[in-house]
Chain A
Amino acid sequence: MASRLELKDLVVRYGSGKHSLTAVDRVSLEVPESQTFGLVGESGCGKSTLARALVGLVPVISGQILLNGVDYTSVRSRSTADYRRRVQMVFQDPYSSLNPRMTVGRAIDEAITLRGVTARREKRQLALRMLDLVGLGEPALSRYPHQFSGGERQRIAIARALAVGPEVLITDEITSALDVSVQATILNLLKNLQRETACSVLFISHDLSVVRYMSHRVGVMYLGQIVEHAPAAELFDRPRHPYTWALMRSIPRLGQPHNRAPLTGDLPDPRRPPAGCRFHTRCPIGPLRFPERTICIDEEPRSIPEGQEHRSCCHFAGTVTQAIEASS
């Protein structure tokens, strides 16, 4: 199967010199055709910057962006109408991502025009089909965004992105501005739409349970790097990187007693990431706990494959569960 979207050693940096911030640091990932790649991480880990780079809002310093094997690394190539038609994005906050002075009909119509459809009847039919796909009816066309609830607005934003007919859809925290009771409708919708339109999805979220539900493969980001990636079930059942493990231990779970906070300390300043392994300042199995593990401070871990699909960046990958159990 040809992969739709492929990133190789992608680097995105803001500013230059002493105050530069390498927001995305040598990230490689693949979003296969008609599949969803979930990207999970905490604020400041670079996942949103990655999304913005992919849609051409931010230039790439080095590495490659390939779409069906064709190189789109230069910002110029990602600003072309051709690339826009292939890669679209849905933003986090439906309250701010829709123009308050534009009716829903015009907003969708604009997207359809960019797709290259010009005949008026065809455009209208397509617009109605898009609204129908996201569960909204014809009356929505003449209304303004503020006349809809948050969930409905996010549906409109999705309909607009899909109206372009993209091959790859990037969604950046699309449910985090919504109430829990509405979140699920958007996730179910997106999952159905993906089946129907066969587009590939890069699903970005800080919420592990949501990523688990949506994704075929999952990558975990920490301070600009992907520290572990694996098929979703595999990653959640057998996390090998201590950060992935800690993330999962940190989520409050209904009907279960609370865990002790698995990590101490704060996220380091991303402008000055720690030497060696970037996670060593917080790692539950690193030099904080085991002072003899100086390798974590001295040497940056390489991505180690475990089986075909599972890779993690840790000198002591796969030992976290035993280490914690042994010491407690």
Chain B
Amino acid sequence: MILAPIVFSKAAAVFNVFDANQNPSRLHLLGTDGLGRDLLLRLAVAARLSIGLALIATAISAVIGSLLGGGTALLPPPIRAVGLRFIDTMLAFPALLLAIFVGAIIGAGAAGATLGVGLAGSFYIARVASALALSVAAREYVVAARVLGVKGLAQLTRYILPNIADTLVIVVTVAVSNAIVFLAALSFLGLGVQSPQYDWGAMLTEGVQQFYVTPVAAIAPAVVISVCALAFGLSGEALARSLNPLLWTGSDSARRPGAPVVNASREAPATDKRMDSKSKDVALRVSNLSVRIPTGGASLDIVMDISFSVAKGEMLGIVGESGSGKTTVANAIVQLVPYPAVVAGTVELNGQDLSKLTKRDLDRLLGTSVAVIFQDPMSSLNPTLRVGVQLTESAEVHRHIDRGEAERVAAGHLREVNIAAAEQQMERYPHEFSGGMRQRVMIAMGLMNEPDLLIADEPTTALDVTIQAQIMEVLRQINRDHDTAIVLISHNLSLVSQNCDRLLVMYAGRIVEELAITDLANALHPYTRALLAVVPDVSRPPDQPLDFIPGHAPHLAARPAGCAFHPRCPLAEDRCRIEVPPLLTREAGGRVACWVANKDLSGKSS
């Protein structure tokens, strides 16, 4: 493309009037034009001018557009509004018209056309850039830079532009293809490149005049213009990827190749009297539950071989740090694990194996016997429906009761979760409630079908402590009054210890310990003990440094071999680094997965 004009320009200029307007032949693959010049050669020569001008025009658009757009986003709000309206107004003009206008002022010719197209394209880029920049400018790192005293232009070039660059690049490459088309159009209209220079647009003009004699002369430039425009559009995405360091520098922990894991999945069945809920009514039994995400190479194991049960009227706490898999367990129970993930193992609700149910029975069982409360109640409430409608909806469907009856039940449950003036509250929309109220509405909604199991996944994490205390009181009351089994998932060990009967501790996708809350002081697993030590406590004397667990929780893609906790464990031995410790039942009750803690047992069981 770059060399073509040098190599072919002479040959492309050779004319032979006798060969004029030839159709394609072996000598002239695409035929000849009105002066008998070879079309293929002329197309190749014109490429440099066409693409070159388009690139220059786009460069003009990109520079003006990103500075105008990005800069506008950084202006103080009242001036910013004016700037944005200006960009919008300019954008409302058809770009081609604007280009013709500018071209006409400067004068027909390559320079005028390029400048015109460049300027016309810049407003589109400015609009996109300002929208992107506005969203980035609100991010904390830009605020942090402002606090640091980073100046306006540096904010734009170091913070805003690099972070919108990948999207902007795609927009710009699309602009190149637009510019090619616009420039061709201007030439076609006679406002662009002037003879004796020629670009694809000019060739198209000439070709169209001979359309009925040699259609190729018009079709060929048109095809080249389209293909070229498409190619630029597609190459943008690849370029954008190369600009994003997140894509080419992997997370450190993720990059470390995981050593082969010796999997000792000999999870002891829960046979212990205190731990086993067989004797009582079991609300939930989870057996050998695993969740993995198949990826390109090795699959990511999120949850591995987890078994536990919850009795009717029991409150079970699941504690773990971020990435421990505790939320995935909750989602797997209610069959809500998102698509690419693969779930193995069985979940039994009231003795019914969920995998054996038909889709319809499953929906009914999940709709009537399980309720889930999530951390963020706003995201689980429909903002456009009155709370009353949302409360009564599922009861009408699943319990076949009429509207009035459902409303009476709903009001009763709202009162139960301490919402005053329940009837009036049902007329309101979710956004009219505070966070604590919304969470209470969610709980009331969960109660509508009188579930046997309530799963509360970090139900109070987004709430204040005084509200948290109120919500926990409501949950305890439900547990007591309706004998509802509750699974409380939380990162807060103190909260779980004060409200639950039993505790599961998860680390890196596995249960590492299960014990009764009353046995908390005798926890055996080093991770549980470490967690107990780091729990913040007001009564701790402030002159001693706080205890902490060295290192950090492992990345899922780079789970350490053997016991996943071994790199942070003060007791780790050689065996811990190689073999995964099995979860064994202790005589005193509870289960522990630790080679060191189970030393007295391992002789017997293996």
Contact = CB atoms under 8 A, between A and B. Distances in A.
Contacts of A181: 321, 530-531, 534, 548-549, 552-553
B147 A84 contact: yes
Contacts of A212: 538, 540, 542
A153 B447 CA distance: 41
A210 B536 contact: yes
A69 interface: no
A187 interface: yes
Contacts of A81: 149
A262 B469 contact: yes
Interface hub of A111, A246, A254, A257 (most chain B Cβ within 10 A): A254
Interface stretch (A6-14, A89-97, A126-134): A89-97
A264 interface: yes
Highest count of chain A CB atoms <10 Å: which of B469, B493, B532 = B469
Interface stretch (B14-22, B209-217, B249-257, B589-597): B249-257
A164 interface: yes
Contacts of A29: none
Given A212-B538, A247-B466, A255 B140 contact: no
A110 interface: yes
Contact of B144 (A91, A210, A236): A91
A144 B249 contact: yes
Interface in B485-519: 491-495, 497-499
Interface stretch (B109-117, B155-163, B387-395): B155-163
Contacts of A247: 465-466
A152 to B, nearest CB: 8
Contacts of A206: 464-465
Given A100-B246, A184-B534, A251 B494 contact: yes
A254 B497 contact: yes
B536 A213 contact: yes
A89 B140 CA distance: 12
Nearest to B546: A184
A263 B147 CA distance: 37
Given A179-B321, A246-B466, A207 B141 contact: no
Contact of A253 (B466, B537, B549): B537
Given A100-B163, A179-B322, A266-B437, A258 B499 contact: yes
Nearest to A175: B536
Interface residues of A, number: 79
B573 interface: no
B150 interface: yes
Given A97-B141, A252-B497, A180 B552 contact: no
Contacts of B245: 100-101, 144, 146
Contacts of B431: none
A150 B492 CA distance: 18
B548 A185 contact: yes
A204 to B, nearest CB: 14
Nearest to B492: A252
A258 B469 CA distance: 9
A270 to B, nearest CB: 11
Interface in A231-258: 232, 236, 246-258
A183 interface: yes
A102 B530 CA distance: 35
B139 interface: yes
A267 interface: yes
Contacts of B162: 99, 101-102
Nearest to B532: A254
A327 to B, nearest CB: 18
Nearest to B554: A149
Contacts of B158: 99, 102, 110
A88 B536 contact: no
Contacts of B224: none
A256 B418 CA distance: 25
Interface string B410-444: 00000000100000000000000011110000000
Interface string B522-542: 000000001110111111101
B535 A180 contact: yes
Nearest to B143: A57
B146 interface: yes
A55 B147 contact: yes
Contacts of B549: 181-182
B465 A84 contact: no
Contacts of A258: 472, 476, 498-499
Contacts of B465: 42, 206, 208, 247, 250-251
B148 interface: yes
Contacts of A32: none
A105 interface: no
A231 to B, nearest CB: 11
Contact of B141 (A98, A213, A236): A98
B167 interface: no
B145 interface: yes
A220 to B, nearest CB: 12
Interface string B245-286: 110011111000000000000000000000000000000000
Nearest to B252: A147
Nearest to A191: B545
Contacts of A246: 466
A111 B553 CA distance: 30
A254 B493 contact: yes
B578 to A, nearest CB: 24
B131 interface: no
B436 to A, nearest CB: 5
Nearest to B544: A213
A91 B546 contact: no
Interface string B461-481: 000111111101100100000
A250 B468 contact: yes
A179 B547 CA distance: 13
Contacts of A146: 245-246, 249, 251
A96 B547 CA distance: 27
A151 interface: yes
B521 interface: yes
A209 B494 CA distance: 12
Contacts of A232: 542
A267 B437 CA distance: 10
Contacts of B253: 149
Contact of A148 (B145, B252, B468, B472): B252
A92 B144 CA distance: 11
A319 interface: no
A123 to B, nearest CB: 15
Interface string A155-191: 0010011001000000000000001111111011001
A260 interface: yes
A100 B436 CA distance: 34
A272 B472 CA distance: 28
B498 A261 contact: no
A259 interface: yes
B40 interface: no
B552 A182 contact: yes
Given A42-B464, A96-B140, A146-B251, A188 B546 contact: yes
B520 interface: yes
Interface of A: 42-43, 55-57, 79, 81, 84-85, 88-89, 91-93, 96-102, 110-111, 114, 143-144, 146-152, 157, 160-161, 164, 179-185, 187-188, 191, 206-210, 212-214, 232, 236, 246-264, 266-267, 282
Given A91-B140, A110-B148, A258-B499, 14 more contacts: A42-B466, A43-B435, A81-B149, A96-B139, A97-B141, A99-B145, A144-B249, A147-B250, A247-B466, A250-B465, A250-B469, A252-B495, A252-B498, A254-B535
Closest 5 CB pairs of A and B: A84-B149, A184-B548, A42-B464, A209-B536, A101-B162
25 contacts: A57-B143, A91-B144, A96-B141, A110-B145, A110-B158, A146-B245, A149-B552, A152-B552, A179-B322, A180-B492, A181-B552, A182-B552, A188-B548, A209-B540, A213-B540, A214-B542, A232-B542, A246-B466, A252-B497, A257-B498, A258-B499, A261-B469, A263-B469, A266-B434, A267-B464
